[in-house]
Chains A and B, each alone.
Chain A
Amino acid sequence: MIRTLPRSKAYSSGFKVFIGLYFAFLFAPLIVTMVLAFNDSMFPSLPWEGFTLDWFFGNGPRKYGIFNDRGNLRSIAMSFKVALAVTALSTVVGTFAAFLFEQEDFRFKGALYFLMIAPLVIPGVILGISILLFANSMGLLIERVFDVYVKVLGPGFWLVVTGQFSFITTIVALVVIARLRKFDRTLEEAAYNLGANRLQVLWYITLKYLRPAIFGGAAVAFLMSFENFNTTVFLVGSQATLPINLYLQVRDGSTPVINAISLLLIVGASVFAVLNLSSKRERN
């Protein structure tokens, strides 16, 4: 049954086949996507027409590789900008939230904590439309009362950042809270006793202790922002982010340049996953 118990041959090999199939199921689409990024064909499908790097570096006239594809590059840049803004904001506010819920005591703390984890159980689509609608109503209200048009409240960069921030902050907060919970507060007292002031205690002791969690949370925030579709789709203005742009190409069909983009994203995500895991292991 388990490692230490005797098990029949059929049981063991049956289980092995099952796990093999499961991992094939898990990786088949990713591997096929990556392989076809090198296919010298106009369509992301078989037959294999030979190896090419054109979908990365090609510069026309028939094949434009990703590095020469203006439209996709622009959306990648947009996604980067959004992700950087979201990461910065949600890391700061998420860390504040962690301090608030772990180290402070106040009335209605339980209720506020419940609100904080709510974004995890609200579908992303709903977060997107509710923020779109709310921002629009606010914009109309401000226009009516003050007679000024607030551009920030219309679909576009800042609304996308706001929408993603609204739920990614929760994730950062939970990551930081998990580590802060294991923090021994006598360390703060000890530093204080040794002559550090409040800010020095925060900087040299508490934040230093939290650093791996804050970096980890920031990395997760970046990736989630970069890949988000459901919330973003309602909030983008004229300039689409990469997932939105990619979605249109996938839906309507495109050249294997999407495979090249996918390959880059898969490699990026894998490197990230391995780094994240190994740093977690180191911490333990």
Chain B
Amino acid sequence: MTTNRKRRIKWGFVVFFTPVFLWLLLLIVLPQLELLRLSFVGTGGSGFTLRNYLAFFKEPIYWLTFVRTASYAILVTLIVIVVALPVSFYITKIARVRASGFLMVLLLVPFWVSELIRVYGWMILLRESGVINQLLVRIGLFRQPVEMLYNDVTMIMGLVYTSMLFMVIPVIGVMEGLDDALIEAAYDLGAKKLAIWRTIIIPYCMPGIISGSIIVFMLVLGSYLTPNLMGGKNSLWFTEQIYNQIIIYFNWNQGAAFGFLLLALSSLIIWAVLRLTGQSLKKVIK
């Protein structure tokens, strides 16, 4: 209300501000600070130490997992972009208008189904006794079942599958705003398909691609179920290291250090992407 009767404005402000402030302070800021503090404390509760971080750099298994996780997360993000662009393009620009509404609904339904169930579906399909193996053996293409689960390729496919929609939705969002006349004009001016993609469509969709990339990257980096259930013994994910330290070894200080490293990594990469593309987090998350 645009009155300048101060009393009322203050009252509303206090009611709105207090719970929000407490939420962010008690559940976001202080826990992260505590995570940081504990990561510098030794296992016995002794004083300041860098041991937890040194352990990370000394044990190749730790930092190798870390590097693997980061690079696979980037790889998955890139694959997702490549698949999401034509899908979004088909739905917004090629499919008949009626069909496009239906396809949108169809696209969104799996979005609400939990990651665990979607991964479980793939396990039923792909494992040695799974549906695909049974079918292929039955029609004689395979002589005996092959284990298709528990390897990096399958794991990457699973990660692409579970995070796909977080790219498709923002990209469709911006692509709907792309005026067909721009493509027509480019076509009329003699541009080939590839040139239209390169000069018109992709630059226009950049904000959607960026926000999709950030969400996908974040989700993949922090994913636990998919790598754990679909990846092999050798494809350990960094979140699994954290889980092991906290739940299995009960070494919370080591787990805190790993958690903080993961947080630093995700913040750093998101920050770098935003910097490179000149976007702001506020704009990306609408």
Contact = CB atoms under 8 A, between A and B. Distances in A.
Do A and B contact each other directly (Cβ–Cβ < 8 Å)? yes
Interface in B93-141: 93-96, 103-125, 127, 129-131, 134-135
A115 B224 contact: no
Interface in A8-58: 12, 15, 18-19, 22-23, 25-30, 32-33, 36, 43-47
Contacts of B67: none
A237 interface: no
A250 B196 contact: no
A270 interface: yes
Contacts of B30: 134
Contacts of B24: 112, 115-116
Nearest to B128: A45
A115 B32 CA distance: 12
A243 B285 contact: no
Contacts of B96: 3
Nearest to B181: A4
Contacts of A97: 16, 20, 23
A33 B121 contact: yes
A1 B13 CA distance: 53
Contacts of B252: 129, 133, 136
A75 to B, nearest CB: 12
A18 B86 CA distance: 9
A188 B56 CA distance: 57
A126 to B, nearest CB: 5
Contact of B118 (A30, A122, A178): A30
B79 interface: no
Contacts of A188: 1
Nearest to B126: A29
B243 A5 contact: no
- Chain B contact residues: helix, strand, loop or mixed: helix
A212 interface: no
Contact of B229 (A29, A125, A137, A250): A250
A265 B246 contact: no
Given A130-B31, A133-B31, A134-B31, A269 B243 contact: no
A121 B270 contact: yes
Contacts of B121: 28-30, 32-33, 262
Given A114-B281, A121-B214, A227 B114 contact: yes
Interface stretch (A60-68, A80-88, A144-152, A161-169): A161-169
Contact of A15 (B90, B187, B196, B256): B90
A234 B111 CA distance: 24
Contacts of B262: 123, 125-126
Interface size class of B (residues with CB under 8 A): 35 or more
Interface of B: 1-2, 8-9, 12-13, 15-17, 19-21, 23-24, 27-32, 34-35, 38, 83, 86-87, 90, 93-96, 103-125, 127, 129-131, 134-135, 161, 164, 180, 183-184, 187, 193, 196, 214-215, 218, 221-225, 228-229, 239, 242-243, 246-247, 252, 255-256, 259, 262-263, 266-267, 270, 281-282, 285-286
Given A22-B83, A121-B270, 12 more contacts: A15-B90, A97-B20, A118-B28, A121-B266, A129-B35, A166-B23, A189-B1, A223-B112, A230-B239, A243-B116, A269-B113, A274-B109
29 contacts: A3-B180, A15-B94, A18-B86, A19-B95, A22-B83, A23-B103, A93-B19, A121-B214, A121-B281, A122-B263, A123-B221, A126-B259, A129-B35, A129-B255, A131-B31, A133-B34, A133-B38, A188-B1, A189-B1, A201-B1, A223-B112, A227-B114, A243-B116, A250-B123, A258-B120, A262-B117, A262-B120, A273-B105, A273-B111
